[in-house]
A = this chain, B = another copy of it.
Amino acid sequence: MIKPLISLAAMLALALPAAAQEEPQGAPSPNEIVGQAAPEEWIAIAPEDLLVMTLAPADDGTERKVVIQLMPAPFSQGWVENIRTLARTRWYDDITVNRVQDNYVVQWGDINYDNPEAEGEAKLLPDGLRVMEVKDYAPDVPLRSFSSTGGPLKSDDYAERVGFVGSIPVGYRIYSPPPGARLADFLTQAWPIHCYGMVGVGRGYSPDTGSGAELYTVIGHAPRHLDRNIALVGRIVDGMEHLSSLPRGNGALGFYTADEADKRTPILSVRIASDLPEGDRPSFEYLSTGGETFARYAEARANRRDPFFIVPAGGADICNIPVPIRRAGE
């Protein structure tokens, strides 16, 4: 999630006549519920799990930084290690945003990488990148890893079940348990879900799985058909607007054409937060999905009873229950 959700009731305060309407009685909004969480319900994201991607400044000179939470174990760790290698060897420095496709993705990488129309040499990849396998898109995960498996979420069009492993929305299916197994040991096959702002690894045709050199983020309706078909390695937690507001490319699939070369936003650097001087290190935390507040928040997302609403939906899809994330100290 990019910014805290703000209740539409607050919006209406800007749309009410000067002789303001009485705010009608209603239940707290999902954001108000999150605001009531106890401090211990907020879990720090380790600085090793945060990337700071600095884009070229905007036309008016303002700084543009994007912060990415890297996928925690047990998902995608080989690709995540590759991303740390690419960041530490400065391979990402001076790459560009090459593709912006409306209602789909922003994608960035080396414009000369795997490009038959390349005008320059591809950047040499660093040694030591792991080659991942297709099976790594959806690993086995014991059911005990799940902090939230029920509530208003059950199955959807894309997965037998949906839930949360820590801060990550996942789809999963439960294997037939081995004889005598306890419930917590049941195995699931689980995979992260392509919600808005999630970050994934561009690849060629399977069995290529991508290294992490080419990354993308979702800027529209969740393209769930990509789940299990490509690796997800994180989520944008700050600065999403610097990517989602980029001009769309005129080429096929939103790639910038040759005469749009000036639209390719330069990426000046990508650094792991723990490698930055302490004063430059961003600090983020997420609301525990195993806690009582998250359960109430999820239920309120599924049943809006705050003043603006008339008909509670009775359910919510998993990408409409974004895990609250905030800068530490907010």
Residues of chain A at the chain B interface (Cβ within 8 Å): 2-3, 6, 8-12, 14-18, 20-21, 23-24, 100, 102-103, 114-117, 134, 137-138, 152-153, 156-158, 195-197, 202-206, 214, 219-225, 227-229, 240-241, 244-248, 252-253, 255, 301-302, 304, 307-311, 313-317, 319-320
A195 partner, pick from B115, B221, B314, beta carbons under 8 A:
B221
A22 to chain B, nearest CB (A): 9
Chain B residues within an 8 Å CB radius of A302: 157, 225
A244 partner, pick from B18, B102, B222, B255, beta carbons under 8 A:
B102
Q: Which of A103, A134, A196, A316 is packed against the most chain B CB atoms within 10 Å?
A: A103
Q: Check if A301 sits within 8 Å of B225, measured CB to CB.
A: yes
Q: Check if B196 sits within 8 Å of A229, measured CB to CB.
A: no
Q: Check if A204 sits within 8 Å of B15, measured CB to CB.
A: yes
How long is the Cα–Cα vector from A240 to B102 in the complex, in angstroms? 8
Q: Which of A153, A196, A205, A224 is packed against the most chain B CB atoms within 10 Å?
A: A205
Q: Check if B245 sits within 8 Å of A315, measured CB to CB.
A: no
Chain B residues within an 8 Å CB radius of A137: 310
A297 to chain B, nearest CB (A): 13
Q: Check if A241 sits within 8 Å of B252, measured CB to CB.
A: no
Q: Check if A16 sits within 8 Å of B103, measured CB to CB.
A: no
In the assembly, how many copies of this chain are there? Answer: 2
Q: Check if B196 sits within 8 Å of A221, measured CB to CB.
A: yes
A232 to chain B, nearest CB (A): 14
Q: Check if A225 sits within 8 Å of B157, measured CB to CB.
A: no
How long is the Cα–Cα vector from A95 to B12 in the complex, in angstroms? 19
Q: Check if A252 sits within 8 Å of B315, measured CB to CB.
A: no
Q: Check if A225 sits within 8 Å of B20, measured CB to CB.
A: no
Q: Check if B15 sits within 8 Å of A320, measured CB to CB.
A: no
How long is the Cα–Cα vector from A11 to B216 in the complex, in angstroms? 13
Chain B residues within an 8 Å CB radius of A158: 313-317
Q: Check if B320 sits within 8 Å of A225, measured CB to CB.
A: yes
Q: Check if B221 sits within 8 Å of A157, measured CB to CB.
A: no
Q: Check if A157 sits within 8 Å of B202, measured CB to CB.
A: no
A238 to chain B, nearest CB (A): 11
Q: With A102-B2, A240-B103 known to touch, is A15 a contact of B115 (CB < 8 Å)?
A: yes
Q: Check if A2 sits within 8 Å of B103, measured CB to CB.
A: yes
A189 to chain B, nearest CB (A): 11
Q: With A313-B158, A317-B157 known to touch, is A229 a contact of B308 (CB < 8 Å)?
A: yes
Q: Check if B102 sits within 8 Å of A3, measured CB to CB.
A: yes
Chain B residues within an 8 Å CB radius of A224: 313, 316-317, 320
Besides A18-B116, A225-B301, A244-B244, 19 new A-B residue pairs in contact (Cβ under 8 A), listed by A number: A12-B204, A12-B205, A14-B252, A15-B203, A15-B204, A20-B116, A21-B204, A103-B240, A156-B157, A157-B314, A158-B316, A158-B317, A196-B221, A219-B244, A223-B320, A225-B313, A227-B313, A228-B311, A229-B310
